[in-house]
């Protein structure tokens, strides 16, 4: 059921097809994040219109509300979200890790999680209720959610954590992987793929040990965790190259939590196939969009998918604050190229969007979200074409910040 076929390769970058029960996707690909079972403000049809192939949903949030049993009654996440394409669920480990210590009601401060060999005991950020996520429980929840791809339960730490903390989390992640695999095999493994997660942060001896351990399980896919969490970019890329050199070539490689425009090109050039991030929708909620600026020819080539022309041009990736006063009288469309956004959302002017954001009109956030997601999808489409042409390095040279 789960097949990964490499169609083209340029250096370490590759174009491949990954087959799942809900369809075949082409990598490299970016996956938008639907934290609560929806990418904020946009519909599944709109996501597919701008190029989305797979959506990620958060196990932690769906478990707390509305609960995996209710989701299962609606036909799993595919029925719940009305999304008839592949869905990936994380394990909940990162969300529980990120709780740390937070105030539940804005006044009281209390520890919200505790790690033990059994799992992670945590207090809900919603109401303070106590819960335990063990490897078995995480997989059971994901099995009920019905995602095509599930993640093994892991203990992430910051990428630049000291060696002792990184080693402790890595070793526990390995033990939890064994338990996750056992629970996965107790279900219908032909319908849900399980990916293991490499830990160890930027420490070479640790993440290489972890990559070897994860690979030995021969799972349908493998993921890179514990990076893009505080370490420097140079350290992150050294670790990425080190890890991908040990992960099987015949399995998809997934960099968790990566979603800056140029980062996904850098990751692809190091052998990564899949990535996700909340950045496109989070930026949109704060009124920001990624704009690709250059000559008219370069911008047109980017949005129309003309990779061969784009390779002769240059584009700057900028983050625009659409609340900026300089845009309030700018009647030019945010995006002049037709066929990128859904037809009914084409042509809105910058001044209109600036007004919507100042008035907190939801339509503004919706358009910006789709625009940001479309940017990342267009980049992945150009990467696929460039890899086939043997010019992924030339494509990377097109873009600057």
Q: Is 263 annotated in the active site?
A: no
How many Cβ atoms sit within 10 Å of the Cβ of residue 311? 17
Q: Residue 293 gets which letter from DSSP?
A: E
- pLDDT band for position 139 (cuts 50, 70, 90): very high
Point out the catalytic residue in the list 162, 218, 276, 344.
Answer: 276
114 neighbors 53 (Cβ within 8 angstroms): no
Would you list the domain boundaries of the chain?
28-277, 283-400
Three-class DSSP category at 332 = coil
Residues 187-210: tens digit of each pLDDT: 887 899 999 999 999 999 999 999
109 neighbors 103 (Cβ within 8 angstroms): yes
Distance CA 331, CA 384 (A): 34
The reply to whether the predicted model has a pTM over 0.85 is: yes
Q: Is 90 annotated in the active site?
A: yes
Residues 57-97: tens digit of each pLDDT: 999 999 999 999 999 999 999 999 999 999 999 999 888 77
Rg (CA), the chain: 21
Point out the catalytic residue in the list 10, 90, 148, 273.
Answer: 90
How many Cβ atoms sit within 10 Å of the Cβ of residue 353? 25
CATH architecture designation of domain 28-277: Alpha-Beta Barrel (3.20)
Distance CA 377, CA 53 (A): 9
How many Cβ atoms sit within 10 Å of the Cβ of residue 331? 8
127 neighbors 141 (Cβ within 8 angstroms): no
Residues 288-345: tens digit of each pLDDT: 999 999 999 999 999 999 999 999 999 999 999 999 999 999 999 999 999 999 999 9
């Amino acid at each position: 059921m789960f097949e990964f076929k490499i169609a083209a390769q340029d250096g370490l970058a590759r174009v491949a097809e990954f087959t799942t029960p809900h369809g075949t996707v082409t990598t490299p690909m970016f996956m938008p994040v639907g934290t609560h079972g929806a990418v904020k403000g946009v519909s599944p049809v709109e996501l597919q219109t701008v190029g989305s192939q797979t959506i990620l949903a958060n196990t932690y949030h769906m478990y707390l509300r509305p609960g995996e049993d209710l989701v299962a009654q609606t036909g799993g996440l595919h029925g719940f979200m009305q999304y008839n394409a592949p869905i990936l669920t994380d394990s909940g480990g990162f969300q529980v890790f990120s709780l740390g210590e937070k105030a539940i009601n804005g006044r009281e401060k209390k520890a919200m999680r505790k790690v033990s060999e059994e799992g992670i005991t945590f207090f809900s950020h919603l109401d303070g209720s106590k819960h335990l996520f063990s490897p078995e429980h995480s997989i059971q929840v994901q099995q009920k959610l019905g995602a095509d791809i599930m993640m093994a339960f892991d203990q992430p730490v910051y990428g630049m954590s000291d060696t002792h903390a990184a080693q402790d989390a890595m070793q526990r992640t390995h033990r939890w992987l064994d338990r996750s695999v056992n629970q996965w095999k107790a279900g219908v493994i032909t319908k849900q793929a399980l990916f293991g997660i490499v830990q160890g942060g930027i420490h070479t001896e640790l993440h290489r040990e972890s990559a070897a351990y994860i690979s030995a399980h021969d799972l349908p896919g493998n993921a890179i965790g514990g990076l893009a969490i505080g370490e420097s970019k140079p350290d992150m890329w050294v670790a990425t190259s080190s890890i991908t050199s040990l992960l099987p070539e015949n399995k998809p490689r997934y960099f968790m939590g990566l979603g800056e425009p140029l980062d996904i090109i850098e990751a692809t050039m190091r052998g990564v196939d899949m990535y996700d991030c909340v950045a496109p929708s989070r930026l949109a909620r704060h009124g920001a969009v990624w704009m690709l600026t250059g000559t008219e020819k370069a911008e047109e080539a980017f949005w129309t998918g003309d990779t061969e022309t784009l390779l002769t041009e240059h584009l700057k990736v900028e983050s625009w604050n659409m609340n900026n006063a300089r845009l309030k009288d700018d009647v030019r469309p945010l995006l002049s190229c037709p066929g990128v956004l859904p037809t009914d959302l084409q042509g809105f002017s910058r001044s209109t969007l600036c007004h919507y954001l100042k008035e907190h009109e939801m339509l503004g956030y919706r358009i910006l979200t789709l625009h940001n997601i479309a940017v990342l999808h267009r980049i992945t489409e150009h990467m696929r074409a460039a890899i086939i042409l043997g010019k992924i390095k030339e494509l990377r040279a097109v873009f600057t910040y």
